[in-house]
Copies of this chain bind each other. A is one copy, B any other.
């Protein structure tokens, strides 16, 4: 159930980009890496992948850098994670973007599958609706439910 460093760095970089971008300015990899404590060369790859995925654009050359390809309110965390880390679904048989049958004898009566379907929807409901704009402007969501005692 875990997000890779690649995914984590990518998200942090995008949030950084969304919060520091204004007007027609661009931001260099180095600037993001320093602010966010991310290895420069690793971040380079990640931003490149996101460029190829259409989430950011870049300007080359000296004083070049990156900027969001779309308004922050139109980029969801779900898009970023899928691009960098693959499907959100915990198990392939409930994935919409990368379905694959599992070794279960009968998928249609599988109890695990129906629970995991709920889990994947719960995750996607959050990640596909939280945009970079929401995150930057501190959209509270419904966190602070610290009375929840379950351990993760």
Contacts and interface: CB of A to CB of B under 8 A. Distances in A.
Contacts of A105: 35-37
Contact of A112 (B15, B88, B124): B15
Nearest to A109: B138
A117 B36 CA distance: 19
Contacts of A91: 2-3, 8
Closest 3 CB pairs of A and B: A111-B135, A89-B152, A128-B150
Given A151-B97, A152-B120, A88 B1 contact: yes
Interface in A88-131: 88-91, 94-97, 102-105, 111-112, 114-128, 130
B119 A123 contact: yes
Interface in A46-86: 77-78, 81-82, 85-86
Of the four ranges (under 10, 10 to 19, 20 to 34, 35 or more), the interface on chain A belongs to: 35 or more
Copies per assembly: 2
A30 interface: no
A115 B89 CA distance: 17
A72 to B, nearest CB: 12
Contact of A1 (B90, B104, B111): B90
A136 interface: yes
A148 B124 CA distance: 9
